[in-house]
Structure 1
Amino acid sequence: MDVRRVVAVIAAVVVMGVVPAVASASSSLVWHACATQQEPTAECATVDVPIDRARPQLGSARLALARLPAADQAHRIGSLLVNPGGPGGSGVGFVQFGGLASPDLARLRQSFDVVGFDPRGDWFSTPRITCDPATLFDPALDRFPSSRRGFDALVAHNRAAGEDCVARTGPLLANADTQSAAEDIETIRAALGEPKISWLGLSYGTELGAVYASKHPGRVRAMVFDGAVDHARPLRQAILEEAAATEDALVRFADWCRGSADCALRGRDVLRFYDDVVARAARGAVWASDLGRSATADEISAGVYNHLYLREEWPALGKALAAAGGEFPDARGLTERNQFLSPIYGAYRAIGCHDFPSPFTGPADMGVLAGLVRAVAPHSWRYSEYWDFVSGCTGWPVPAKNPPQPHPVHGAPPILVVGGAHDPATPPAWARGLAASIDGSALLTRAGDGHTGLFNSACARAVEVEYLVRGVTPAPSPICR
């Protein structure tokens, strides 16, 4: 994250429901040093949670935690829990390896014990969601089937992949939903000895935080939901909204690239170039040296999508796209950034199928929505996260425990919701929807590009820090430009 790019801070702020610092009660956790080069003061611990609170006979899972003790212990406010997104992202890794190292966030480091955790099934928590990557992702599979035969092949593939994950993971897989993970946060809070917690959630971390706040509003001191996910949104609507947001981000990149000296494709029709690369990949004509085979069109599109998360990575995206479409094409710069072969793709899929199960009843139904996706995203339609969820969950054998539903928050202090006008992953309508479900919430809109304000806007970082430390929320309808 390049924090040197400074943007204007919104002019007016008001104090809404400032929550005083609270002393921590006695913690039951045993911390040990786990220093990294980036964070030499890091400490680690574990906490056990039931796999299924309704069926304790299934045993427990062990969650991994990492903490950066407040630099100013004399004025420590409490614990700030962070979730960097996903589903499947590592809060432990985020804390240990510099996720909050920006100078803009120094006041958080001064005032809070910053605590990251790996949710159940993820990274250093055990048991870990484990799937055979070759079974989970088949590059030859059509994720937009137009026939009964193709649809049945997708269903059979996903069923086999899910059954493999169940066999390798055990009963945790059926309990890897966000409702269960939210109750784990309450266990963590109690183990920390904190009467209330503060929360910084990014992307999926906004859904997880919202579920927790809905269940335990009295345990909330302050919460930031940045890159907001509105889990109450009808799934078909959300699919189209996100596809349109991804298209918007790609078009904005192309407009910038065409006229920027920092882009390798300056002066070109970038969207046409992109379409040509994807079309050639669909014919097996674009090599990827990291894969040792031709890249698929889906892999190309997913790699472009992931570069759109950070505005500062647009020059790198221009180079990677130019290389994929060159005389001797190599898509490595794109394919090494897609998530299909990521070590957390199994957790991403398993949690996603609990929270965003497939709505499709058959090939005709799926084909209609696929056609609408192509209509709202004529260039980027081959990859958006919600289509990855619903296509991958079509035939998934594990029943969904947390399908889309409202998680209203009543009785908590004001919560800050942050949305981006040109966010490729979480459209601004989602931030408005989430904020509307939270009594007394404050909504900050970010006018720039990229996913989340924390990673793309000095203005948003300043507002988030001020709110978390002092309870200062933006005046009505603020915009970070």
Structure 2
Amino acid sequence: MDLRRIAAAVAVAVLVAAVPAVAEASSLSWRPCATRQEPTAECASVDVPIDRAKPEPGSARLALTRLPALDRAHRIGSLLVNPGGPGGSGVGFVRFGGLASPDLARLRQRFDVVGFDPRGDWFSTPRITCGPSLWDPALNRFPASRPEFEALVAHNREAGEDCLARTGPLLANADTRSAAEDIEAIRVALGEPKISWLGLSYGTELGAVYASAHPGRVRTMVLDGAVDHARPVRQAILEEAAATEDALVRFADWCRGSAECALHGQDVLRFYDDVVGRAARGAIWSSNLGRHATADEVSAGVYNHLYLRDEWPALGKALAAAGGEFPDARGLTERNQFGSPSYGAYRAIGCHDFPSPFTGPADMGALAGLLRAVAPHSWRYSEYWDFTSGCTGWPIPAKNPPRPDPVHGAPPILVVGGAHDPATPLSWARGLAASIDGSALLTRLDDGHTGLLNSACARAAEVEYLVSGLTPGSRRLCR
């Protein structure tokens, strides 16, 4: 028995338990904003500077939702939640049942759960607003010639200028570093000496940047579906594409052998390739789009179904329908983010954090060739290629390109990564954990994006850590 480890664990537990005793007064005015899913929900807002270096652009108003701790006598403090994105709504996630799983009941008992919409997102104002031209299905995101590359650059420049005209100065200040300082403003407004944090996907980057800047203000922090923002963009593109390919292959293996799948017994990868190839020729209709779906849109629809392991049967049906006698890709294309109201925020924040590395058509073509090599089936869509191809020519200077944000002086932080996560490779979780002093890495061997949404084992470990402040120790594997 390691007595030093026990002593350290007791010390952490004492420090964690002592935090609420020195809570400050909150400056927020909460009002009821009940939903059917969350009848106790309350809403408020916090004003923050658009540009902390220049007061002229004015302020932004951040929307907040709180679910008060059910056990007030044993309340620990505030747990801030970010469900990902970029462009995801913490307000919507909290107000509409994102934490309603029985596995998370202890969080509801012991914390004021606070969801917020980062600057520019959803219920926060001003909102990042872009025109419908942001996504042009006719545009080639894998340009094979200089004219095609220049057309991509011109389109992205015009789309960015349109977003800027519609949004105003916030667009130039929608980076993650600015959003992390907004978290500090929220903490102060809540009157909390320290916060707990539950960040999924992009929420791991946002949380890690906050912890790097304000390590003494962190009580506990879960970074689930980890993004390692220190990785060079070119490397991240290939790593993520390989992860998406791995997830697609695992789905195809399951589908071929499972009676639950509409394509049971078939060569699913060949079927998928055929559907995407036909879409590239303009031969796959989508009834929700009212036109033929592109290969990118079909591939993106498959990708988004891979996020949740429980949606694999639905993916089988949707893919079968897209390749049937009378093809309709509706089940795939209705899941795309391209037409979502949050796609503008997704693109604008992404271009601040993951700017295009491409210098010209030859450079872009060379990396596209490597991408096809690591993802021979799924290469048509991966998130980092969507970011970087969409940011090629983007007119807003990037305020937060990839760089290390090491965390020193924070309590132990729990990083969660999946060996078969389609969006955030396990190597990213390992890299992020290595940059955080005293962190613990929980590894999932199952499927889907994030442990919170796919793994009862991961949910249990995250809840126990958030409540107690103690990392899982030697039990750091979820099968």
Q: Under a length normalisation based on structure 1, what TM-score does the superposition of the two structures give?
A: 0.96
Structure-to-structure mapping, 1:344-383, within 5 angstroms: 344-383=342-381
Assess if the C-alpha contact under 8 Å between 1:442 and 1:476 holds in 2: no
Instruction: Please give the secondary structure, in 1, of the residue aligned with 2:452.
Output: helix
> In structure 1, what is the equivalent of residue 476 of structure 2?
478
Partners of 2:150 and 2:214 lie apart in 1 by 42
2-structure distance, mates of 1:475, 1:220: 20
Unaligned runs of 5+ in 1: 1-12
The aligned counterpart of 1:9 is none
Does the CA contact (< 8 Å) of 1:443 and 1:477 recur in 2?
Answer: no
Report 1:84-95 matches (<5 A).
84-95=83-94
CA distance in 2, matches of 1:423, 1:229: 12
User: What aligned pairs does 1:2-401 form with structure 2 within 5 A after superposition?
Assistant: 15=9, 17-18=12-13, 19-20=16-17, 21-23=19-21, 24-133=23-132, 135-401=133-399
Shift of residue 478 of structure 1?
1.7
In structure 2, C-alpha distance between the alignment counterparts of 1:192 and 1:91, rounded to whole Å: 16
Cα offsets for 1:321-380 (capped at 9, x unmatched): 000000000000000001111110000000000000000000000000000000000000
In structure 1, C-alpha distance between the alignment counterparts of 2:239 and 2:477, rounded to whole Å:
21
Structure 1 CA distance for aligned equivalents of residues 104 and 474 of structure 2:
24
SS of the residue 2:279 aligns to? helix
Question: Could you tell me how far apart the structure 2 residues matched to 1:172 and 1:464 are?
Answer: 34
* Counterpart-to-counterpart distance in 1, 2:221 and 2:252: 35
2:90 maps to a residue whose letter is G
Task: Supply the distance in 1 between the matched residues of 2:364 and 2:281 (Cα, whole angstroms).
Answer: 23
Asked whether 1:402 is paired with 2:400, we answer yes
Contact between 1:310 and 1:450, CA under 8 Å: does it hold in 2?
Answer: yes
After superposition, the C-alpha distances for 1:28-54 in whole angstroms (9 at most, x for unaligned) are 000000000000000000010000000
AA aligned to 1:111 is: R
Q: CA RMSD in A?
A: 1.2
Distance 1:237 1:137 in 2: 25
Distance in 2 (CA, whole Å) between partners of 1:223 and 1:336 is 34
2:438 corresponding residue in structure 1: 440
Map 1:401-440 to 2 at 5 A: 401-440=399-438
CA contact (8 A) 1:159 1:397 kept: yes
Q: What's the % identity of the aligned pairs?
A: 84
The answer (yes or no) to whether the contact 1:66–1:95 under 8 Å persists in 2 is yes
Give how far 1:477 is off: 6.9
Larger RCO: Structure 1 or Structure 2 (Cα < 8 Å, ≥ 6 residues apart)?
1
Q: Which residue of 2 aligns with 1:8?
A: none
User: TM-score scaled to structure 2, two decimals?
Assistant: 0.97
Paired position in structure 2 for 1:6: none
Deviations 1:301-325 (A, max 9, x none): 0000000000000000000000000
Question: Could you tell me which amino acid in structure 1 is paired with residue 121 of structure 2?
Answer: D
- Give the partner amino acid of 2:99: L
Rounded to whole Å, the distance in 2 between the matches of 1:144 and 1:49 is 39
Q: Distance in 1 between matches of 2:304 and 2:254?
A: 17
